[in-house]
Structure 1
Amino acid sequence: MELNVLDQLRKSLIRLVRKPLAFWANSRIMPEKLQNLELDTDKPVCYVMRDDSISNQLLLEDFCLSNNLPSPLARVSDQAGTDGVPPMEACFCLGQRGKGTQPGVPDDLIKLQGWLRDHPEQDIQLVPVSVLWGRNPGHEKSIIKLILSDRVEMGWGRRLLVMLLHMRQCFMFIGKPVSLRSQLTSEDDRKIAHKLSRVFRVHFHRQRVSVLGPAVLHRPALVASVVRSDAVEQAIQYEITNKKISREKATANARKYVEEVAASYENWVVKLFDHFLRWLWNRLYSGVKVGNVDHLREKSQGHELVYVPTHRSHMDYLLLSYVLFYQGLATPYIAAGINLNIWPVGGLLRRGGAFFIRRSFRGNQLYTTVFKEYVHTMLKGGYAMEYFIEGGRSRTGRLLPPKTGMLAMTVQSYLRNSRKPIMMVPVYFGYERVVEGRTYIKELSGAAKQPESVKQLLKASKALKTSWGEVQVNFGDPIPLTDYLEQQKPGWRNEDYGNDPRPEWLSKATDGLAGEIMERINAAAGINGVALSSLALLATDRNAMSEHDLLAQLGLYQRFLKQVGYSEMQVNCDDSETELLGALIAQKGVGRFRHPQGDLIYLDSQAAVLMTYYRNNILHMFAVPALVAACFSHGKPMSRQQLLATSKSLYPFLKAELFISWSDAQLKQKLLQIADFLVTEKLLIEQADGLLIAPEQETVNYYRLMVLAQALAPTLERFYLVLLLLNRSAEGSGCKQLEDICQKSAQRLSVLIDLRSPEFFDKALFRQMFRTLREQGYLQETGGQIVASHGLDELHQLLAQMVSPAAARSIRQVAAVGSEPAKQLAA
């Protein structure tokens, strides 16, 4: 009886400090959505913690009481369905209080197993809970920093110090429940408990590493390690022999390169960035939305993560690290262009985890080797990494063709050492307004890119006076590198690759991986009001619509995304059509013409050019529906089989240009779903004979169908122009000459038809189209000259039916002029 009174008194005193402690810690709970825990509320719960910390248990209790979950400090027998359970708290720990995680098995776990054997109808859910204070991984050679970081072995005095130092930087991770019943076998209960304890210890270790990352390498030791590596030693010897310099000079050069490249991570800088970025995002953006992070967290357990985001803005560097920090994931070491290594930004970025890369490695073997060895050292050490797979920022809003240099280094490093499994994580950024938007338009119009400088930095501070809307950070479906390589080269682990692995299959595998990453970036695209409204307005003749029609079109797009959808990883927007339109109207250059018969929404000439950027962010999601709509633009009926055949002929070009992820089997399924959706929306009519046809041209539904189709009109017009030029002048011409002629002709056409879409004559798009024409067998290049197949005529005739008569006339006029230089070259 006396023990019960003392026990109650202890709990009362403990709970007295629960609320102040919870306020002090300001814990972030992962996962954020309670339903993601997958708890069965009809079964009893026991929590499993790493060590017996009263403070951590109190934080857990505060969370449980706030969410109607069983208290960890209450007895298990207080929960329903636990008659006869031995007296014990609903939380047991794998270590002793004040002594860290000492090896052993909680006796309570063994008792619960015995109770379950006596009650075969019952089950207990074991829920692992990790509580981490601060984000300091510690330095391998720093005793003080190891003491002040939240390490596994920690007494009460040191824990109190850590709590004081890391106020309001506490993370609580609640794992998915494990059925204790499912773990029972014919083995002895103590042996089963040992295995379970080991599984939970591994889980807690992986959780800690995924949040904090490995201990930071001491910089002098890192530099020395890279310089002394076999690969760099060979490069030094090459310098000595070929450049006739001394060993001291060559070694000093290697050391200088490592110092230029290497990050110098300091936790105090990360904390400084934390405070600064919270202030900055509140000034710049009305919100930062994060998508698919729970999916990433679940799939990435036990993996080293390499983030490969799209590159929209200089803000991307900071934004991803900020999001990862607040989602309880280790912040990555970031490959940054050497142009950002300017005072004072460069030093801060370096201490925040940036390592710097030159624009070109050409002609400098020592630098190339040093950089590769640094990347290998970091990956081998298990450090998260980030680099932009496009190389530079996209000025058009479309994904740029991938640059595979860093990706190849990652794969080569993994071939050398694959003990720590790597997972590639695609990341999509979506801005309602990109800070550099006006600059991008100037550069696309021919202005020279301004180099980064202190002066440019001061000019950028003007952005703080403007609201830039919302920004989305969405994580794509990760790619386990081990699984990918096994698909490309079964048995790849059995080969000896040496220090500079370059197997013959590497280039093809790297290119394939790059394409897969790009498609998964686009698969995680997010929707916002600016992008969706731009998609509709830019599809009209004068970039203007009645408010009523625009709202109806936005509703159509929203229903398509929810009923048919682009991918399982897409992030939809729950805003109403009015809220979506409101995001657009807040942009500069968007006007409202008030009229008694209904207001009109329009874009001025500058805004129309800028809005192509945001439209292009999501164009891939609507490209195939727009293609289907375009098939009916001339009012002729089509069967579903004809629709499939027409779409399949053009799909390879859209897939390559827009990084669409659908396979041929998925395409067929999606095309049929799209056709059914358009019939349901009454944008297509199914006749008695089963043929599909567009509504009458004077109807509202025909107008909406054509607005959908016009989203793809510039792309189809560019395709038609290329095919027309090929038909007129392909024979005897070379690919590069024809690409140049097509690009110049497209530029001329954009002026004639007043097309304000800067990417329309982007050289990269023509290179990609010619590559696809070769891959699909429409073109062959023999002896530097183009030979066209008969299928090219069929493709040309197909496109001629999908381009408007007015656009077709202008294209034929431009092609007539453009084909003359090609004929002269051929002659």
Structure 2
Amino acid sequence: MKTRTNQFLRIIAEIFRPLFSFLARHYPESFARLRQTFAKDLYFSGMIARFNVWHEYIFKPGFERVRIDSVELTQLKELSQKATLVYVMKNRGQLEYSFFNHLFLKEGIPLARFANGARTIFWRPLSDFIRALGARLDYYYRKGLLEDPLDSGYIEELLGRGESILINLKIYHEFLFGASEDEVKFITPLLKAVAKQNKPVLLVPLQFLYDRHPEKAHKTLIDLFFGEKSNPGMFRKLALFFKTYRRQATVKLGEAMDLKKFVSDNPQDDLDLLSHKLQTILLNQLRIERKSITGPVLKPRHEVLDKILRDSKFKEDLNAFCQESGVSAKKALEDAKHYFHEIAADVNYNYVDVYVWLIRWLTQNIYEGIDLDVEGLAKVKAVAGKNPIVLVPSHKSHIDGLLLSYIFYNYDLTMPHVCGGINMRFWPVGRLIRKAGGFFIRREFGGNKLYKLVLNYYLRYLVKAGHSIEFFIEGTRSRSGKLLKPRMGILSMLMDAYLAGTTKDIYFVPIAINYERIMEAKSYLTEMKGTKKEKEDARGLIKAGKFFNKKYGKVFLRFSEPLSLKEFFDQKNIKPHEKSVSELRKEVRDFAYQITYHINRVAVVTSSALAATALLSYSKKGIPEDQILKRVEILHHYLAHKGVDLSALVRQKQEWATRQALSRFAREGIVAVFNDFKEKFYVILDNKRPLLDYHKNNSVHFFVSLSCFCKVLLMHKGDAIALNLIKNFFETLRVLLSHDFTFSQRTSLDEHLQRIVDFFGSENLMSVEGDLLKINHQAYTSGILDFFGSLLDNFFETTWLVLLYCKHISFTAIPRATLEAAIREKGEVIFMKGDLKHEEALTAWNIRNAVDVMIDLGLIRKLENNLVSRHYDEEVMHRWEETLQSVLGWNVLKSVPESIVKSDLPIELNKIT
């Protein structure tokens, strides 16, 4: 199109034509070099090898601070060695293009030699700028005006040479300057070129985010005139960059798409249809990848409430509740609104920024670093944005939820909506958590159907909107160090949301969080003794200030492979809308245990856990240091055989790490260190065994099957034992431990036992011959069976204590809490007498689990209102007492009682090996 500007430039060019002709004749070599350089970038749109001084001075400091995922960057470098890269952006401006030019130069990634709609001539040093202008004039004098790159075949030529280019799918400017959009025509040359290419061609989406905050539901005047934060105009880009690059600006290097595969997968489509289809796919991928960082559009809380109340299915369920309960519609609606405001988050990203700053300060002042599973996090990133993700971490400390929010925010994933107990709603913590995405639920709401209904529909809203959610499947912090049994409430509601068709899939991410030291150790110690937990309030927060002067070691975060709920139901041939979650209790339970299995599987074993296990396994009061080191080495050897994740210190410097853990225990007043005439030894101080037990329980689940196996061999004490007899005894022990641990049914018992035999077989201690297990006498004399077998003695002692109490003391219709307190009181007497060897057998949760075992055995009966009564059965009590005494090595059991072997007690699905 001819314009006055173009006509003016042509007149100026004609004035200089004689001078150029003269210079070209007299300096042919210089002009040849000029033409050769110009041929590499005919349109002055390619990335450049160096910037001018002003560009470096203004933008380079900011570019250096922009956040980039190191994993994504490494992957892009690897791809560049194997394929021709075509970068794809949406709404690319000069600033974003300049940044990627800077990044690719720095990292040795191929530069884009062409970018539609871009001009880089003004970024160049003055000398390059002058040469470029000269080259353009020279071309004009020789060949006339440049052809359109689409007509000249320039894009296809570049790709044919293996050069990279950048395609901008859309260009948008703010209201003041109008809007324009590139057509799909720049995609067509890619499709033409790929057919002639031998080398793979990969499309790589690139995004530059000035702000990681989600889009707002309502636009402001600033958004209208200068563009939204997600799609800013020229002026707003500059303002946002210099305002936020230090902490907010983020780059997303997207998942590469194989262009050849795309073409081969659509052989019937013509070029025009293929181009439009590819444009749609790429724009959708860019949208999904951006959403994985910012999250979905953020709506005010009152709009979320209105949306739920207008939902036809909610209205239907609310009417049904009114008819069933006799509550008026007006009262039910008022209560529903009250429950919503009690539950729902009220996200404000001004608070989020403060929240993240506080967490950063806490983690830097309290912990010595976070050992993060970057590869596991990359797997979470791969599914984020496409479908809702639900984070399911283990729960050992109040800091758990804070850490995950901090990690997600700092690794460019949307902040999750964190489900917390209503006890954390106190001022000012409750307000800050709610504004940062937390929502609060009551501990118990089984009888309140309307509350449950509102919570259910709030979770449906979060899932449908695409928000990330985080909840603790254990329901409370584990005071024992072990993963608690899963609670089904929130999980069943999320599964119900999927079955109701609110989303195509939900990905659940099991996460293990392990600490070298726990902040709440002292309060847990008092709760271990049955003392009631202190209520959280502002005064407790002030008291917590004393923790900030200490360092609590490292924190370990490990992510399991995300679990697809759709795949889980597909395997069971269950489709959305076919059944409600109330009809699928077994499936909910199975999925819950699948999650807890994966949490335990990825848990990290620390030096504290190994040292505590070794200390507690020694029978004498004084524990020689060399014995501790030997026992840790044996534990390490078995864990390595299983492929368990060990902390870096344990892997690399096992002995040094153990000594460090022992020194830490000494500083904390858990053990005392002495030297006699021969050696250095440790003594566990009074009342401190339960603290060591907490550390031990962080990893004891890895040894449960092994310990049970060793117990069976020790109960038999022979050179050969029938495999069937081992299985029968093993099942007996599983009954006794059924509430302390859950045993895996992902693999058969035969496979479990074979793995253990393989471990001992590698040490030439035993082997299988036919139906018999042959045992080398050295297995008994070396003490290795006694060592592994003793790891669960405290659990067996607790069960024996509760059985003994039921045998000798009658009780009828008493509160369960009263019974457990009485058992503990009696246990302290027996411990002082010396009949109980392990003080940790008296912890409140061990007793609670042992009472559940007695209920399963029928020796205690549950009544209404959490009351219990003894059911005296002398024969059953005698048989189980004899079994427990044999397990603990107090006598030798000749045979397994038939009632025990054939017991139909439920053996639950597992989270162990």
TM-score by length of 2: 0.75
Aligned residues: 784
Deviation readout 1:660-698 (Å, 9 max, x if unpaired) = 563263543343232222333466689999712352766
2:346 paired residue number? 264
Q: Please tell me whether the aligned partners of residues 389 and 469 of structure 2 are also in contact (alpha carbons under 8 angstroms).
A: yes
Larger deviation: 795-804 or 670-679? 795-804
Q: Distance in 1 between matches of 2:647 and 2:657?
A: 17
Distance change (3 Å), C-alpha of 1:401 and 1:260: same
Q: Specify every segment of 5 or more residues in structure 2 that has no aligned partner in the other structure, as ranges.
A: 1-34, 116-156, 864-868, 894-913
1:710 paired residue number? 790
1:622 paired residue number? 703
Output the amino acid matched with 1:693. N
Q: Please tell me whether the aligned partners of residues 429 and 472 of structure 1 are also in contact (alpha carbons under 8 angstroms).
A: yes
Output the amino acid matched with 1:674. I
Output the amino acid matched with 1:172. V
Match for residue 610 of structure 2 among 519, 532, 535: 532
Q: How far off is 1:544 after superposition?
A: 5.2
1:817 paired residue number? none
Q: Distance in 1 between matches of 2:158 and 2:440?
A: 63
Q: Which secondary structure does the structure 2 equivalent of 1:633 belong to?
A: helix
Q: Distance in 1 between matches of 2:628 and 2:734?
A: 31
Match for residue 804 of structure 1 among 889, 901, 905: 889
Q: Distance in 1 between matches of 2:823 and 2:607?
A: 32
Distance change (3 Å), C-alpha of 1:478 and 1:659: farther
Distance change (3 Å), C-alpha of 1:372 and 1:84: closer
2:686 paired residue number? 605
Q: Which secondary structure does the structure 2 equivalent of 1:593 belong to?
A: strand
**Mapping for residues 15-164 of structure 1, pairs under 5 Å:** 16=56, 19-25=60-66, 27-29=67-69, 31=71, 34=74, 39=79, 41-65=81-105, 67-72=107-112, 85=160, 89-96=164-171, 102=181, 104-105=183-184, 107=186, 110-120=188-198, 122-143=199-220, 152-164=230-242
**Mapping for residues 674-713 of structure 1, pairs under 5 Å:** 674-681=756-763, 691-695=774-778, 702-713=782-793
Q: Please tell me whether the aligned partners of residues 640 and 692 of structure 1 are also in contact (alpha carbons under 8 angstroms).
A: no
**Mapping for residues 475-514 of structure 1, pairs under 5 Å:** 475-488=559-572, 490-494=574-578, 503=582, 505-514=583-592
Distance change (3 Å), C-alpha of 1:348 and 1:803: same
Distance change (3 Å), C-alpha of 1:43 and 1:239: closer
Deviation readout 1:207-252 (Å, 9 max, x if unpaired) = 1222211111112222333445557657877898899998766644
Q: Please tell me whether the aligned partners of residues 713 and 803 of structure 1 are also in contact (alpha carbons under 8 angstroms).
A: yes
Residue 321, structure 1, aligned to residue 405, structure 2: yes
2:292 paired residue number? 210
Distance change (3 Å), C-alpha of 1:632 and 1:236: closer
**Mapping for residues 467-482 of structure 1, pairs under 5 Å:** 467-482=551-566
Distance change (3 Å), C-alpha of 1:361 and 1:118: closer
Q: How far off is 1:571 after superposition?
A: 9.9
Q: Please tell me whether the aligned partners of residues 649 and 795 of structure 1 are also in contact (alpha carbons under 8 angstroms).
A: no
Q: How far off is 1:456 after superposition?
A: 0.9
Output the amino acid matched with 1:350. R
Q: Distance in 1 between matches of 2:446 and 2:746?
A: 40
Q: Please tell me whether the aligned partners of residues 798 and 847 of structure 2 are also in contact (alpha carbons under 8 angstroms).
A: no
Larger deviation: 353-362 or 244-253? 244-253
**Mapping for residues 645-684 of structure 1, pairs under 5 Å:** 645-646=727-728, 648-650=730-732, 652-653=734-735, 656-657=738-739, 659-660=741-742, 662-663=744-745, 665=747, 667-681=749-763
Pick the structure with greater CA Rg: 2
Distance change (3 Å), C-alpha of 1:487 and 1:125: closer
**Mapping for residues 92-491 of structure 1, pairs under 5 Å:** 92-96=167-171, 102=181, 104-105=183-184, 107=186, 110-120=188-198, 122-143=199-220, 152-167=230-245, 168-185=247-264, 186-187=267-268, 188-229=270-311, 251-291=333-373, 292-300=376-384, 302-361=386-445, 364-488=448-572, 490-491=574-575
1:811 paired residue number? none
Output the amino acid matched with 1:223. L
Larger deviation: 132-141 or 743-752? 743-752
Q: Distance in 2 between matches of 1:577 and 1:32?
A: 33
Q: How far off is 1:326 after superposition?
A: 1.7
Output the amino acid matched with 2:790. Q
Q: Distance in 1 between matches of 2:861 and 2:839?
A: 33
Output the amino acid matched with 1:600. F
Distance change (3 Å), C-alpha of 1:295 and 1:343: same
Output the amino acid matched with 1:405. G
Q: Please tell me whether the aligned partners of residues 530 and 843 of structure 2 are also in contact (alpha carbons under 8 angstroms).
A: no
Match for residue 654 of structure 2 among 577, 586, 592: 577
Q: How far off is 1:378 after superposition?
A: 2.3
Q: Please tell me whether the aligned partners of residues 746 and 761 of structure 1 are also in contact (alpha carbons under 8 angstroms).
A: no
Q: Distance in 2 between matches of 1:116 and 1:236?
A: 58
Distance change (3 Å), C-alpha of 1:319 and 1:11: same
Larger deviation: 528-537 or 622-631? 622-631
1:13 paired residue number? 51
Q: Please tell me whether the aligned partners of residues 73 and 89 of structure 1 are also in contact (alpha carbons under 8 angstroms).
A: yes
Q: Distance in 2 between matches of 1:486 and 1:731?
A: 51
Q: Distance in 2 between matches of 1:483 and 1:570?
A: 32
Q: How far off is 1:766 after superposition?
A: 2.7
TM-score by length of 1: 0.82
Q: Distance in 2 between matches of 1:711 and 1:199?
A: 56
Distance change (3 Å), C-alpha of 1:685 and 1:192: same
Q: How far off is 1:8 after superposition?
A: 7.9
Distance change (3 Å), C-alpha of 1:445 and 1:157: same
1:821 paired residue number? none
**Mapping for residues 701-740 of structure 1, pairs under 5 Å:** 702-718=782-798
Q: Please tell me whether the aligned partners of residues 309 and 388 of structure 1 are also in contact (alpha carbons under 8 angstroms).
A: yes
Q: How far off is 1:793 after superposition?
A: 9.2
1:78 paired residue number? none
Deviation readout 1:390-424 (Å, 9 max, x if unpaired) = 22222111222322222222233333333352222
Percent of matched pairs sharing the same residue: 22
Output the amino acid matched with 1:399. L
Q: Please tell me whether the aligned partners of residues 380 and 420 of structure 1 are also in contact (alpha carbons under 8 angstroms).
A: no
Residue 641, structure 1, aligned to residue 723, structure 2: yes
Q: Which secondary structure does the structure 1 equivalent of 2:492 belong to?
A: helix
Q: Please tell me whether the aligned partners of residues 779 and 789 of structure 1 are also in contact (alpha carbons under 8 angstroms).
A: no
Distance change (3 Å), C-alpha of 1:459 and 1:407: same
Q: Please tell me whether the aligned partners of residues 44 and 124 of structure 1 are also in contact (alpha carbons under 8 angstroms).
A: yes
Q: Which secondary structure does the structure 1 equivalent of 2:535 belong to?
A: coil
Larger deviation: 446-455 or 13-22? 13-22
Q: Distance in 2 between matches of 1:439 and 1:806?
A: 38
Distance change (3 Å), C-alpha of 1:576 and 1:55: farther
**Mapping for residues 778-789 of structure 1, pairs under 5 Å:** none
Q: Please tell me whether the aligned partners of residues 138 and 145 of structure 1 are also in contact (alpha carbons under 8 angstroms).
A: no
